[in-house]
Chain A
């Protein structure tokens, strides 16, 4: 077992892990942050997506030890300081961009990374960027709409409801 220490959502978190422990397992089991989900074992679904030093990372593709000293952001740290939903989260609720909620943390974190990189993405750019996040419930229609809305763009072009 090896000690590992990182900052998660602004708080210092440390623990003892095996070399093979994945970052997602560390976050869920040791940091107690169960909002980050595991939906596959081939790094395809994106339910485990978090930010590491500002970059979007599937936390099943990274060992916990590789995150030593890193700044990690998860879904639990995304709401506004007063606890209200942030712009992206609110847009997902407003536009029904989630159903069962399981892929949602990864989707929100992915959308945040997209908008940081590209503040006004087109619908095509959104669909292409989200290729690494699988949702089985929504058919993506309302997710795309939510991301467009979160970027402050008109969603009128996408059919209502």
Chain B
């Protein structure tokens, strides 16, 4: 029987009402009296030297207030990087400066050169066209392999090379892995590209800076997933504004998917310029601008080897990845190919020996950072593709091969530094086999073949490490921040509650799901609880929302704060009922004394806390408000099994997704409706990566896929209905809610099953195609079927390390 409220209920989302009636308050809806607008003049070449900027004509144009260039930011900090990776030789990564406006050189198409502030956005744009930049174009490095060659053009003149770091993990295991590979009965090798993507939340980024002359306080309204992080990075490292003089507000945010985690130049600029011109300054990104200024995602080129013994047990995994950093280090970029990727390489399997090598490379492209899944999709993709390839080479069932190698005992220490607390990979695979009706596949394939189509079935498993993260652990790994979360639970005198959380909702439904937890803890209606988030002025210092961490970390902080509130309320109730604290029970919104019929309502206790006439003032303070900071002791490890069925048109190479199924273990689930929605969205993005989306640079560093005309976003008719299940639940053992996080799973788990399905379809048609790189466009599939190499920009060809990716 489904619950109708509290934990486990599919409560309808309260935030929907404002979004459905046009009453949302997104950053671009914020206009401050007297505001000016900024337009950024951006580089149209990938690499160039700025010999001069003549803005005299532009300055005289109507409405222009002031034109800023790199000179105005000399002596001002650059955008900081939040993670320092130490390489396999014990050296710290190369870390170039990242100026707010270009200083002397531009390093990617989109790098901002000048900023025109004018009365209207149109005037600013008009004036920007009149700025004359003497830009000397330099050779650009786009291809990672070329970038690492001796004598290659350097993206940053002051660095020794374009190599950011050469990371080995776990370096001590390298020899054992080599030995295991040498002694293996079978080794399967696969080279592949994890295609560069653009996160593309539907709301483009916006920043509004405001400076209050009377108080000297600055405020930034911004499209951020983590306003406190922006306040800290921008205040302390860029502009030198102490946090008590700086407020950052992230109101309704129209999707993030990682790309709104990072601190961007435009935020710092608007905050800086508002003070400089003593007027609010607003920037609204166009979509075209977003493509060349939002951090991109993925962009790994990988070679993976899987060693098996004569009984098909996995004995070793070795992977070598080139990870594109782009032209500068975005906020968390160095962590993505390392600590969010290497530690996942064990997957769901008890492989004893694993070695991961990652070379992070600077190129003249937009910076690359976390995008939904961040490192974990890259790990899952290579692992689940190579396992499928091994099964095909060995002639064994891909499900049986996986099952045979599943980790079955928990907690499990992987050879890549993490401990899985719980999971049941057999259960999700059982569930998947049931959902996917694998027994009926042969018949469905026959029906497709009767229509002249090839049908394929692909499956894969995934594990993710999310709910990030234990601060002491990430500190050892190079994080320059803690990764706890915070919450303040404020009880009002009449019994209603406000939870001020450091988490941030930009589509995840916190305003609905968080109250479900509090309502259960106290036994009151969900409508008595309000969630406040997104404003540094009225929430405790929090690290924000990414890495599927809101409920696991932010929700845990809220539970801890609510427990403190309840403990204090019990003391007040004990006083009111002249009983001992230890005998007080809270149930259904009332405190009672165990073993008696005495009780006092929740609301009466709250009132007593604020009108303390009859109150234990000598023992406790009035009021009922508590704050908690929760630092997790481990990651959480959601896992699951996914299946995809495709039809391939052998005449055109077009792939159609016929069925997509996901069996996930998220531990306990607070709102099943929201969780399913999160999986749907992740699946759509994973299918988008597998079939449609690709960020394509030409050899000169021009981004060819820089609008929705050229970057293929998944649309309604590209996708099937999804079948999702999260009934296999092994609750997380180390957080109070037993929850694991669900935001990224769909995007992590789906790409390999789609590719596996296409390869299966082609092989069923007699085409011995071992691999096709994503996105599997009709041209690439057709080429693979017809024995031709899929060529064109952004394919493995030209970027892979060892020629054909087979």
Contacts and interface: CB of A to CB of B under 8 A. Distances in A.
Nearest to B23: A35
B716 A127 contact: yes
Contacts of B24: 35, 101-102
Given A102-B254, A139-B684, A134 B708 contact: yes
A23 B531 CA distance: 35
A93 B253 CA distance: 18
B21 A96 contact: no
Given A102-B24, A103-B202, 19 more contacts: A40-B286, A45-B708, A78-B21, A89-B21, A93-B13, A96-B677, A99-B681, A100-B255, A100-B507, A101-B18, A101-B254, A104-B20, A128-B716, A134-B202, A136-B713, A137-B507, A139-B746, A140-B684, A144-B721
A139 B13 contact: no
Contact of B707 (A42, A85, A135): A42
Interface string A93-130: 11010111111110010000000000000011011101
A82 interface: no
A75 B288 contact: no
Q: Closest 4 interchain pairs by CB?
A: A35-B22, A101-B19, A102-B254, A139-B684
Contacts of B709: 42, 44
A42 B705 CA distance: 13
B28 interface: yes
B15 A41 contact: no
A138 interface: yes
Nearest to B199: A136
Pick the most buried of B254, B676, B719, B746: most chain A CB atoms within 10 A of its CB: B254
Contacts of A74: 22
Pick the most buried of A34, A85, A103, A143: most chain B CB atoms within 10 A of its CB: A34
B723 interface: yes
B122 A142 contact: no
Contacts of B351: none
Contact of B719 (A33, A99, A139, A161): A139
A124 B20 CA distance: 24
A36 B28 CA distance: 11
B681 A93 contact: no
A85 B20 contact: yes
A100 B510 CA distance: 11
A92 interface: yes
B20 A89 contact: yes
25 contacts: A20-B122, A34-B26, A35-B21, A38-B284, A40-B708, A41-B286, A44-B708, A76-B21, A85-B20, A85-B21, A96-B673, A98-B16, A99-B509, A102-B202, A102-B255, A104-B19, A128-B717, A130-B715, A131-B715, A134-B708, A139-B722, A140-B684, A140-B719, A141-B719, A159-B722
Interface of B: 10, 12-13, 15-24, 26, 28-29, 31, 122, 200-204, 252-255, 257, 284, 286-288, 506-509, 672-674, 676-677, 680-685, 707-709, 713-717, 719, 721-724, 746
Nearest to B673: A96
Contacts of A20: 122
Interface of A: 18, 20, 28-29, 33-42, 44-45, 47, 74-76, 78-79, 85, 89, 92-94, 96, 98-105, 108, 123-124, 126-128, 130-131, 133-144, 158-159, 161
Contact of A79 (B21, B203, B507): B21
Contacts of B31: 29
Contacts of A139: 680-685, 714, 719, 722, 746
B642 to A, nearest CB: 14
B22 A140 contact: no
A7 B312 CA distance: 72
B709 to A, nearest CB: 5
Nearest to B204: A39
Nearest to A100: B507
Contacts of A36: 22
B12 A143 contact: no
A20 B125 CA distance: 13
A134 B18 CA distance: 20
Contacts of A18: 122
Pick the most buried of B21, B254, B676, B680: most chain A CB atoms within 10 A of its CB: B21
**DSSP class of A's interface residues: helix, strand, loop or mixed?**
loop
Nearest to B257: A136
Contacts of B23: 35, 76
Contacts of A47: 202
A158 B713 CA distance: 23
Nearest to A159: B723
B672 A161 contact: yes
Contacts of A75: 20-22
A136 B724 contact: no
Contacts of B507: 99-101, 137
A141 B715 contact: no
Contacts of B203: 37, 39, 100, 102
Contacts of A100: 19, 201-203, 252-255, 506-507
A135 to B, nearest CB: 7
B689 to A, nearest CB: 13
B16 A141 contact: no
Contact of A93 (B16, B506, B682, B683): B16
B672 A136 contact: no
A105 B202 contact: no
Nearest to B726: A161
Contacts of A127: 716-717, 719
A153 B204 CA distance: 35
Contacts of B21: 35, 75-76, 78-79, 85, 89
Contact of B681 (A28, A42, A108, A137): A137
Contacts of B286: 40-41
Nearest to A91: B20
A50 to B, nearest CB: 11
A93 B20 contact: yes
Pick the most buried of A33, A39, A45, A128: most chain B CB atoms within 10 A of its CB: A39
Contacts of A42: 287-288, 707-709
Given A41-B288, A136-B713, A93 B17 contact: yes
Nearest to B682: A139
A144 B408 CA distance: 39
B13 to A, nearest CB: 7
A140 B243 CA distance: 41
B721 A102 contact: no
Contacts of A96: 12-13, 673-674, 676-677
B28 A161 contact: no
B5 to A, nearest CB: 16
Contact of B673 (A78, A79, A136, A161): A161
Contacts of B26: 34, 37, 102
A72 to B, nearest CB: 13
Contacts of B683: 139
B432 to A, nearest CB: 14
B16 A92 contact: yes
Given A127-B717, A131-B717, A39 B202 contact: yes
Contacts of A44: 707-709, 713
A116 to B, nearest CB: 18
Nearest to A132: B715
A37 B21 CA distance: 12
Contact of A34 (B22, B672, B715): B22
A161 B724 contact: yes
Contacts of A103: 202, 254
A130 to B, nearest CB: 4
A30 to B, nearest CB: 12
Contacts of A123: 721
B15 A101 contact: yes
A45 B714 CA distance: 11
A21 B746 CA distance: 41
B407 to A, nearest CB: 29
A37 B24 CA distance: 10
